Structure 1
């Protein structure tokens, strides 16, 4: 069984992760995955981790396909693949229009086409081929990596709905998903099929104060699940009616009403909370329903997140 952790931990300086990263494998963790939103980029935490540990699998979850040119993305990935040969997974995805256009000033190409084209470009580049020609969403002229990785990284796609999951099943090495319940895993797995790796970031709040956890969840769910891509994902999962009041309040600009409108059952489905043992048991339900790689994202509750990460380890005594 795989067991992953998201880095960097919220509010913990990158350099202060070193002691934790060095002991994660001995605690039973198998994976370390970065994120890329508005904090650290996806690659730097993994470059550091590659020097601090030689056992963990390292993955990006995920690098947006719009915010770097295909060649720049290939070079960054190839460098990390050289530092961690055979244990680097490149997760790529379409991100959102907010991040791509609002924050980076880049046109948001149709996400399925862009993701497919970047995936195909990377396959050729990592194989050491010269890439020269037109893709549907961009044209490449005579690019070849100076040094193709000896062990090309696996490539996984961020996928929330059937079309992207089917693309991952056909052409990638797996899919990475986000903001789903343990029971939702069955529906996602059915679209991906049985033969490709399925990873998911799972938000975990280690506290016996259920209302604290729910309040943290209210803010995150109202912020994230009103984004069009996530809203469509939850419509597909059958949660649209439960989210209707929240979405309407958010669209009207009433953020407090939107947070108050998140149903408790949605909070408890999407935010894992409780004691470390209870959280591990809940994560185990995801695995039992077809998830290969849980990627824990620890939510701050005022306690030391380094200790929280240790407490959630498979071999921890709690």
Structure 2
């Protein structure tokens, strides 16, 4: 199993994680990942860390489709990949209607079709086999009319096949990742339930297909406090990260077997009763998607991940070198 460090969103100058990234590289971590929602972008911090490292792979988890046109994402990815010696892992995702329509002012409809079209255009850009064209309804190129013409990328990419990972939660989107992507980035993964939930969707994945699961890690002798930290995160995602009638995070928790709990948590959160929503998160759920407690307990829980189809653990939480070393030793030993 490979090991990555997921830094999440960059928030402020004090959130410069260069020391953690350098430590992760020294310790043999395979990758480091950044994210975006409606604050910092994913590419800028990744370029910052890429300029200070030489080996560790650089992943976006994830770049939102509606934030940029396909060719804009392809250009940025090509540039960053070139400057860092071919280390980019490009994670992309449709996000959700709350962000897509509320922040970017773009329609959310048909996310799977948009994703397929988006990825196809990016690959056309990188391959430079011909001027880029697309007759799809979402990103027509060139725009119908008399002024536009098909164009070819001026710069030759370092790699014409930059790996594309999809951030996906629904079974159809996961199946799309297995069909057109080099990897899948699950936000919440319950290792013992992945096959049950997504076995059919992943059936046609290739032998080198990566499943890079994000997992919150808290090394602590106080298991109760560590679990509460995971529950705080789940409270926000289940309760508030999505529209009332379309919250993909709540949906995935439902597919894990906690549908009634997810509905109750969201209702409490949206009613302003956030303390009650937090208390309604089942401990079993928080424990199942995370790795918390003293090292011995985490080692024991890791067995479930090693038995799952996950190929990379992208750990969220540890930043100091001692903790990163402990995680490294637990995961890779």
Please give the TM-score of this superposition, normalised by the length of structure 2.
Answer: 0.84
The equivalent of 2:166 in structure 1 is: 157
The equivalent of 1:270 in structure 2 is: 289
Kindly tell me: are residues 316 and 113 of structure 1, through their superposed partners in 2, closer, same or farther at Cα, counting changes over 3 Å? closer
Q: Contact between 1:298 and 1:309, CA under 8 Å: does it hold in 2?
A: no
TM-superposed deviation, 1:16: 4.5
Which stretches in structure 1 are left out of the alignment for 5+ residues?
A: none
Tell which deviates more after alignment, 122-131 or 214-223: 214-223
TM-superposed deviation, 1:197: 1.2
The within-5 A match list for 1:1-318 is 1-7=1-7, 13=13, 16-128=16-128, 129-141=130-142, 142-151=150-159, 152-187=161-196, 190=199, 191-193=201-203, 195=206, 196-226=209-239, 227=242, 228-298=247-317, 305=320, 307-314=322-329
Secondary structure of residue in 2 paired with 1:258: helix
TM-superposed deviation, 1:157: 0.8
- Matched residues in 1 for 2:195 and 2:212: separation? 13
TM-superposed deviation, 1:164: 1.0
Q: Contact between 1:161 and 1:236, CA under 8 Å: does it hold in 2?
A: no
Q: Contact between 1:9 and 1:298, CA under 8 Å: does it hold in 2?
A: no
Kindly tell me: are residues 133 and 289 of structure 1, through their superposed partners in 2, closer, same or farther at Cα, counting changes over 3 Å? closer
1:55-75 superposed Cα distances (whole Å, 9 cap, x missing partner): 111111110111111121111
Kindly tell me: are residues 76 and 9 of structure 1, through their superposed partners in 2, closer, same or farther at Cα, counting changes over 3 Å? closer
- Matched residues in 2 for 1:189 and 1:224: separation? 21
Q: Contact between 2:295 and 2:330, CA under 8 Å: does it hold in 1?
A: no
Secondary structure of residue in 1 paired with 2:262: helix
Q: Count matched residues.
A: 314
Q: Which has the higher strand share?
A: 1
The equivalent of 2:146 in structure 1 is: none
Which stretches in structure 2 are left out of the alignment for 5+ residues?
A: 143-149
Report the RMSD for the aligned CA atoms in angstroms.
2.7
- Matched residues in 2 for 1:262 and 1:202: separation? 17
- Matched residues in 2 for 1:34 and 1:234: separation? 23
Please give the TM-score of this superposition, normalised by the length of structure 1.
Answer: 0.88
